Structure 1
Amino acid sequence: MAAPITGRKVFFGMSAAFGVIIAVNLFMAYSAVRTFPGLEVKNSYVASQNFDRDRAAQEALGWSIHAEVHQEELQLAITNDVGQPVEVAELTGTFGRATSVRDDQIPDFVFDGTLYRAPVATSAGNWNLRFEAMAKDGTMFRQRVVVLVER
């Protein structure tokens, strides 16, 4: 014969159930905050004031961008409006996962006359290259390129 359900058993059962729910919520909140890469800009209002001007200057360059990874080498092609390779005055960027900063790398790009190349460590999946290139006339070009790495 089973023991009767008492108020004490219901209280402890409900407390345990809600305790598990609260513990999981706290863990998920901690994980979300710990892996959040941060803000894109410090002040979105100030950034918005120059957005249209910066975008028009960037589009006036007529550049096309293509990036891919071959044998642990990130290859970035920047071409002008007639398809010729572009050599920039300065190129910096971050290569990493879209969802975490744990795998972020700062590629050391070298221009070979056609492509910018940099060694990287990857695994299969979706990667992002967020880069800034300064044209020789001083125009800043910013873009995020999705790079799919297949194994």
Structure 2
Amino acid sequence: MQKSPYRWFPWGLFAGMLVAFAVNGYMVYAAVKSFPGVAGQDGFDLSERYDKVIATAAKQAALGWQVETKADEARHPLLHLADRTGAPLAGATIKAEAERPVGPAARTSLAFHPLDPADYQADAALAPGQWDVLLTVTSGDNRYTTTRRLLVR
């Protein structure tokens, strides 16, 4: 009587499960090892005052301000600020920080100075790569907070 080749099937299934278990174990180890330790700074507090967050977002949307970011050839961030009608948002005060969206935490404070009534340039250059620019723009009694993704080449 000839032995069936299917007699190895349970062993193959067992070996496949061992490989899947080993790969998943490594992925869990890598995720825990690379976790920076902070998922968010105020998630619970933010959820407790969600009505205020919605009201602030509605107020900012009603302002209709346009905020555009890009980088110049020297890797300095540039901002273009305009109101609802497209008129320059002259005399705005800008508080800004740039941070890496992934990888090790790297934050850079940015100070902007006006180039013309609508355009502003940061004093510091950024390293090449992706950055999230966290902006707070104040003009008169109005305040606008936003985050813009910036790709620096």
TM-score (norm 1): 0.70
Superposed, 1:35-114 pairs within 5 Å as 36=38, 38-39=40-41, 41=43, 43-70=45-72, 71-87=74-90, 89-100=92-103, 102-112=105-115, 113-114=117-118
- What is the alpha-carbon distance in structure 1 between the residues aligned to residue 132 and residue 52 of structure 2? 24
Secondary structure, aligned partner of 1:145: strand
Fraction of identical pairs, as percent? 17
- What is the alpha-carbon distance in structure 1 between the residues aligned to residue 42 and residue 71 of structure 2? 25
Amino acid at match of 2:107: D
The structure 2 residue matched to 1:128, chosen from 125, 132, 147, is 132
Root-mean-square deviation (CA, aligned residues, Å) is: 2.7
8 Å CA contact 2:94–2:111 kept in 1: the answer is no
Do residues 146 (structure 1) and 149 (structure 2) align? yes
Amino acid at match of 1:121: L
Amino acid at match of 2:85: V
Measured against aligned partners, the alpha-carbon deviations of 1:20-63 in whole angstroms (never above 9, x if no partner) come to 986774453132135x4742556022331212211121112111
- What is the alpha-carbon distance in structure 1 between the residues aligned to residue 93 and residue 44 of structure 2? 23
Unaligned runs of 5+ in 2: 1-17
Do residues 29 (structure 1) and 44 (structure 2) align? no
Deviation at 1:126, TM superposition (A): 2.3
Unaligned runs of 5+ in 1: 1-13
TM-score (norm 2): 0.69
